[in-house]
Amino acid sequence: MSSLLIITPVEKLQKKINKIVSSMQNCTGIYVSLNKTQKSIEETLKKNKIKTEKIFFIDCVTSEKQKEEVLHISPRDLEKLSYAISSFIKEIKGEKFLIIDALSTLLIYNDENKVAAFVKEIADYASENNARVIAFSPSTKGEELLNKIFNFFDKVEKEEDEIKTRKKQDLIY
């Protein structure tokens, strides 16, 4: 399967996420939320008429369990997060996807090399198990991390801030 890293201005992040999730409504997937609670994400998706029944949420924002079917994992515990993602991927039959929002958020809790190793491990595991990976990162944060992880993805889509330029670049590494 393919993997895609989308780098976009913060103000366009949710709109991009909605578009990607909407395009995969027929598949079962995993949504790792690093910058919003599962409840907030689910409400936003439903408000945009996007079905969430086939999505397993891993909430890295909320510390206490609010729904039985939602995993809550600290963004500091990349090992546990990696294990949960790989376990979910293994369990899903047929076409599947993994979405990770706001990758650069992991830099608040972990060092750059640890986050890069985590991204590589997840991308490799998903690829081996025929899962499509879509990771998002705001264009204003974690530039050094992004430079380290570009080559872990089949495609990188970088959308510049509209103030700087109105050109959309597709970078393939």
Boundaries of every domain in the chain: 3-171
- In the chain, how many H helices and how many E strands? 6, 8
pLDDT digits (tens), the chain, 173 positions: 689 999 999 899 999 999 999 999 899 999 999 999 999 999 999 999 999 999 999 999 987 766 777 899 999 999 999 999 999 999 999 999 999 998 989 999 999 999 999 999 999 999 999 999 999 998 766 788 888 898 999 999 998 755 444 444 454 43
Q: Rounded to an integer, what distance in angstroms lies between the CA atom of residue 154 and that of residue 86?
A: 19
Q: Rounded to an integer, what distance in angstroms lies between the CA atom of residue 119 and that of residue 117?
A: 6
> For the chain, how big is the Rg over CA atoms in Å?
15
Q: Rounded to an integer, what distance in angstroms lies between the CA atom of residue 122 and that of residue 104?
A: 15
Architecture per CATH, domain 3-171, reads as 3-Layer(aba) Sandwich (3.40)
Q: What is the pTM of this model?
A: 0.88
Q: Rounded to an integer, what distance in angstroms lies between the CA atom of residue 20 and that of residue 27?
A: 12
3-state class (DSSP) for residue 141: coil
3-state class (DSSP) for residue 159: strand
- String of DSSP letters for 38-56: HHHHHHHHHHTT---TTEE
